[in-house]
Amino acid sequence: MKFEDNLRKLESIVEAMESGQMNLDAMIKSFEDGRRLVAECRKDLESVRRRIEKVTKGGEIAEMEI
């Protein structure tokens, strides 16, 4: 899935940045890539939230009849 892939990439960027092995240019590039990935993840999560609200009648938990 797209969200999971982006999250894995973001985690990889964070690990690389925390390693202390990157030069300044690589850190800046990684930071920019990370910001883009965070924005994409937020967009995906917002989409999921809207879908859940539709299913659960405006975000409220609805009892299911069996």
Total domains in the fold of the chain = 1
**Interval 11-47: pLDDT, tens:** 999 999 999 999 999 999 999 999 999 999 999 999 9
Answer for the pair 38, 10: CB distance below 8 angstroms, yes or no. Answer: yes
Residue 14 lies in a domain: yes
The Cα–Cα gap between 53 and 50 comes to 5
Residue 65 lies in a domain: no
The Cα–Cα gap between 48 and 20 comes to 35
The Cα–Cα gap between 66 and 39 comes to 40
Residue 50 lies in a domain: yes
Residue 35 lies in a domain: yes
Q: Structure pTM?
A: 0.75
Residue 62 lies in a domain: no
Residue 19 lies in a domain: yes
Count the Cβ atoms, other than its own, within 10 Å of residue 9.
Answer: 16
Residue 43 lies in a domain: yes
Structural domain for 51, as ranges: 2-55
